[in-house]
């Protein structure tokens, strides 16, 4: 009986994975190089390159992981890319990007992202990030596609002791639910 239960669990897990709309891959080399070059040309990247021997184009490109997710239901995956390099990670999360394939290569359509949601804006799925901002404070960040790229569309925070979501300073949103 135990063997049959285990087989059922494996079958369900396999079906769930196969039915999923995303998979983890290495990002296209052109995208990985563009991201690494962009970082290395920034003020933070220049400091990183001068202070650490592993802060190079090759090493940073190798730390990128991509999730292929069809965000606009066109049958072609977009890429949710993040780095595992300590040089590109902060206290909240690692730096992340959203790219899509175009006729001429790849185009950045967002600088941050969360988990894809069912709701869409301009044909692309909204994304919601939930994170621990720092001990005792959680954050929710809603990203919506605004025609050309993803933009932050909502921000809520909650003191973990109170459990009630409040709009971030400067936001007029009334609900994080």
Q: What is the pLDDT of residues 16-68, one digit of tens each?
A: 333 344 566 777 788 888 888 887 888 878 888 888 888 888 888 888 888 89
pLDDT (0 to 100) of residue 152:
92
Label residue 91 by pLDDT band (50, 70, 90): low
pLDDT (0 to 100) of residue 20:
43
Whether the per-residue pLDDT at 84 is higher than 90: the answer is no
C-alpha dist (Å) from residue 103 to 100, 157, 176: 10, 40, 37
- Distance, in Å, from the CA atom of 89 to the CA atom of 16, rounded to the nearest integer, reads 30
Helix then strand count (H, E) for the chain reads 4, 10
Residues 63-77: b if buried by 16+ CB within 10 A, e if exposed: bbbbbebebeeeeeb
Whether the per-residue pLDDT at 85 is higher than 50: the answer is yes
pLDDT (0 to 100) of residue 92:
59
Q: Do 125 and 110 contact (CB within 8 A), yes or no?
A: no
Name the burial class of residue 152, with classes exposed (0-12), middle (13-18) and buried (19+) by CB atoms within 10 angstroms of its CB: middle
pTM over 0.85, yes/no:
no
pLDDT (0 to 100) of residue 55:
85
Residues 99-116: b if buried by 16+ CB within 10 A, e if exposed: bbeeeeebebbbebbbeb
Q: Do 46 and 55 contact (CB within 8 A), yes or no?
A: no
pLDDT (0 to 100) of residue 71:
96
- Distance, in Å, from the CA atom of 96 to the CA atom of 88, rounded to the nearest integer, reads 9
pLDDT (0 to 100) of residue 114:
84
* pLDDT one-digit tens code per residue, 124-173: 999 998 888 778 888 899 999 999 999 999 999 998 888 888 998 877 65
Q: Do 128 and 144 contact (CB within 8 A), yes or no?
A: no
């Amino acid at each position: 009986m135990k063997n049959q239960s285990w087989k059922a669990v494996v079958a369900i897990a396999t079906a769930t994975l196969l039915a999923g709309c995303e998979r983890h891959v290495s990002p296209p080399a052109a995208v990985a190089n563009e991201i690494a070059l962009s970082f290395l040309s920034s003020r933070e990247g220049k400091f990183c390159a001068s202070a650490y021997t592993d802060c190079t184009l090759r090493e940073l490109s190798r730390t990128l992981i991509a999730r292929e997710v069809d965000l606009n239901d066109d049958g072609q995956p977009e890429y949710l890319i993040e780095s595992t390099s300590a040089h590109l990670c902060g206290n909240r999360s690692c730096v992340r990007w959203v790219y899509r394939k175009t006729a001429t290569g790849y185009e950045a359509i967002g600088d941050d992202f969360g988990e894809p949601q069912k709701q869409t804006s301009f044909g692309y799925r909204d994304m919601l990030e939930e994170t621990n901002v720092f001990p005792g404070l959680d954050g929710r960040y809603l990203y919506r596609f605004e025609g050309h790229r993803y933009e932050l569309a909502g921000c809520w925070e909650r003191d973990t002791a109170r459990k009630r979501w409040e709009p971030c300073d400067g936001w007029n949103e009334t609900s994080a639910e």
